[in-house]
Amino acid sequence: MTLDLTADAVTLTRQLVDIESVSRNEQAIADAIEQALRGLPHLTVTRRGHTIVARTDLGRAERVVIAGHIDTVPLNDNLPSRLEDGILHGLGSCDMKSGDAVLLRLAATLPEPNRDLTFILYEAEEIEDEFNGLRLLSESDPDLMAADFAILMEPSGAAVEAGCQGTMRVDVRTTGERAHAARSWNGVNAIHGAHEVLARLNAFEPRKPVIDGLEYREGLNAVFIHGGVAGNVLPDECVVVVNHRFAPDRSEAAAEQFLRDFFEGFEVTVTDSAPAALPGLGLPAAKEFVDAVGGPVKPKFGWTDVARFSALGVPAVNFGPGDPMLAHKQEEHVPVEHIERCERQLRDWLGGSA
């Protein structure tokens, strides 16, 4: 498969969508992207696994990273792409191959941008953290991620979504004592013991802290529950898997402490954690970008890889075509207008229309 970087961003989005690239199956799309980028003499291309990095090296005063992941969630009878009434439908159209297409168009058509650019197209964002291409790159080649500012092209309604909330997963465990269900007075039912865990979750009122003028909104949800030994046995264990989304004014340690306090009296084990990212809108590079793009800035509720840039000291925002509410839905789609607007605004900011 080949990509035609001379095509417009909408056509390019369709080309990308039609190369199926569910996480762990990115070989074909990564090969096509690498081949297309290697044909551009103004870029230096590096590949690590199925992650591609392409850089200008013009000695500009500032360097900006523009990044997008190339994998999608599993197929759900939503390929190939379909363009209808100005809306492009299909797996990955929203999350986030339209963003990738804008990125690739900029890479192909801005040989002399006013800032040095690092384009990163990376693998395995939709699955376990251990496979994430941006995470692997930050470990193997942190210098390739160095920049003054980063733009992650996650769907954000073609507006700037700043920062991101952190996410932590814990197991909340109740224990009991097995007994035959016919003589239950000899045992202690661990599932019954979980009633208080669920009651507290049900009564949870989220914090909504305002940071840099943006109102975040936390979340606390049971995402799994399991318990049970046999159909006639009192269960001696019940586990509620809880996902906490915490605002950027809290560290992972503070979030963990909150959870331990919230579930006081129960055994709590952290199984997964990723820090929030502060919006950082006061930082000069971020401020300049926001001013150039204009429009309202919104808080990012979901966790995104902007947190990885924040951790490296690089201010980063989400800015990409597509409604984030549609991500991971069967009917995901993206308005053509979003794709065109994102490309135009980035091009203007990078001096491409001068």
Catalytic residue ranges: 71, 125
**Is the CB of 34 or the CB of 126 nearer to its own copies?**
126
**Is the CB of 26 or the CB of 34 nearer to its own copies?**
26
Interacting residues with its own copies (CB under 8 A):
73-74, 126-128, 165, 167, 169, 178-186, 189, 191-195, 198-199, 201-202, 217, 219, 221-235, 238, 240-241, 243, 245, 272, 301-303, 324-325, 327-330
Q: Output the six-digit token pair for 150.
A: 């980063």
**Is the CB of 257 or the CB of 271 nearer to its own copies?**
271
Rounded to the nearest whole angstrom, what is the least distance from the CB of residue 273 to its own copies in the complex? 12
**Is the CB of 100 or the CB of 332 nearer to its own copies?**
332
Transcribe 246-304 into DSSP letters. Answer: E-TTS-HHHHHHHHHHHTTTSEEEEEEEE--B---TTSHHHHHHHHHH-S-EEE--S--
Measured at the CA of 8, the angle between CA 6 and CA 12, to 5 degrees, comes to 85
Rounded to the nearest whole angstrom, what is the least distance from the CB of residue 229 to its own copies in the complex? 7
Rounded to the nearest whole angstrom, what is the least distance from the CB of residue 3 to its own copies in the complex? 27
Distance CA 256, CA 39 (A): 48
Distance CA 73, CA 70 (A): 10
Determine phi and psi for 2, rounding to 5 degrees. Answer: -130, 155
How many Cα neighbours within 13 Å face the side chain of 237?
Answer: 8
Rounded to the nearest whole angstrom, what is the least distance from the CB of residue 323 to its own copies in the complex? 10
Q: Output the six-digit token pair for 18.
A: 């039609």
